[in-house]
């Protein structure tokens, strides 16, 4: 609650610097607290305290609490996406690349902080519509991966869309299960085995039949 300027920073800072440091501090503190206590249970005052910033400063940079959460969420999602993309690019075989990308997703989602924010709180806090909008990155990557692996033009687009949804859902649920399992690594391997099996099955399928 009690807020006072601490430790005067080095004499003069540009507006750019002032802005970016406070927003960064807010994002970092928010990330920590949202993950620890959940979205609604985390008060703005607590966040501002932790960030050593006043509420006035906060409301200068963000429209409201939801937008702050959204910013935190987006950063998280981007970190994950880029990690996956990088992993994906290391493999030539499209099925193997897809598979390794999914491993990266699962490993990256095991971290409790990220898991709480992106998988537990986000749907309720942002709503389904906003979620879908932002999650586009991950989904598009998976859609691309599946399209590549299945072969161009072999299947109608909506069929691949639908498959994307379901594989994505399976991935998320697996991530959540892992995060609370007695032996997460065992579950990770088990989940990956099953994805592998699914992919192999699709692969073996005659090109003309349905996925």
- Where along the sequence are the contacts to DNA (CB under 7 A)? 3-5, 11-16, 18-19, 21-22, 40, 42-46, 53-57, 59-61, 64-66
Closest to DNA by CB, 41 vs 198, is 41
Q: Which of 31, 50, 51, 34 is nearest to 42 (CA)?
A: 34
The count of other CB atoms within 10 Å of the CB of residue 47 is 24
CA–CA distance, 193 with 195 (Å, rounded to integer): 6
Note whether 80 and 105 are within 8 A (CB).
yes
Residues 6 or more apart whose CB falls under 8 angstroms from that of 56 comprise: none
By the rule CB under 8 A, 123 interacts with a copy of itself: yes
By the rule CB under 8 A, 121 interacts with a copy of itself: yes
By the rule CB under 8 A, 191 interacts with a copy of itself: yes
Q: How far is the CB of 58 from a copy of itself (least distance, A)?
A: 20
201 binds, among DNA, a copy of itself, none (CB under 5 to 8 A by kind): a copy of itself
CA–CA distance, 46 with 33 (Å, rounded to integer): 8
By the rule CB under 8 A, 157 interacts with a copy of itself: no
State which of residues 46, 130, 149, 170 lies at the interface with a copy of itself (CB under 8 A): 170
Note whether 106 and 178 are within 8 A (CB).
yes
State which of residues 25, 61, 176, 184 lies at the interface with a copy of itself (CB under 8 A): 176
Closest to DNA by CB, 43 vs 78, is 43
Note whether 125 and 65 are within 8 A (CB).
no
By the rule CB under 8 A, 154 interacts with a copy of itself: no
Q: Say how many CA atoms lie within 13 Å of 113 toward its Cβ.
A: 12
Q: How far is the CB of 5 from a copy of itself (least distance, A)?
A: 33
Note whether 45 and 3 are within 8 A (CB).
no
Closest to a copy of itself by CB, 71 vs 184, is 184
Note whether 136 and 81 are within 8 A (CB).
no
Chain residues in the site for a copy of itself (CB under 8 A): 38-40, 119-121, 123-125, 127-129, 132, 158-159, 162-163, 165-174, 176-177, 179-180, 186-187, 190-191, 193-194, 197-198, 201-202, 205, 210-211
């Amino acid at each position: 609650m009690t807020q006072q300027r601490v430790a005067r920073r080095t004499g003069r800072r540009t507006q750019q610097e002032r802005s970016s440091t406070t927003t960064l501090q807010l994002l970092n503190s928010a990330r920590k607290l949202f993950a620890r206590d959940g979205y609604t249970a985390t008060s703005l005052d607590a966040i501002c305290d932790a960030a050593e910033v006043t509420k006035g400063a906060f409301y200068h940079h963000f429209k409201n609490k939801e937008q702050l959460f959204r910013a935190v969420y987006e950063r998280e999602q981007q970190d994950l996406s880029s990690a996956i993309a990088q992993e994906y690019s290391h493999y030539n075989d499209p099925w193997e690349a897809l598979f390794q990308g999914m491993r990266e997703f699962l490993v990256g989602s095991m971290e409790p902080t990220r898991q709480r924010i992106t998988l537990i709180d986000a749907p309720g806090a942002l709503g389904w519509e906003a979620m879908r909008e932002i999650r586009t990155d991950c989904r598009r990557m998976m859609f691309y991966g599946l399209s590549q692996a299945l072969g161009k033009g072999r299947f109608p687009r909506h069929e691949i869309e639908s498959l994307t949804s379901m594989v994505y859902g399976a991935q998320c649920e697996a991530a959540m299960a892992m995060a609370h399992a007695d032996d997460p690594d065992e579950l990770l391997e088990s989940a990956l085995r099953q994805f592998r099996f699914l992919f192999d099955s699709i692969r073996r399928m005659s090109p003309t039949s349905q996925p």
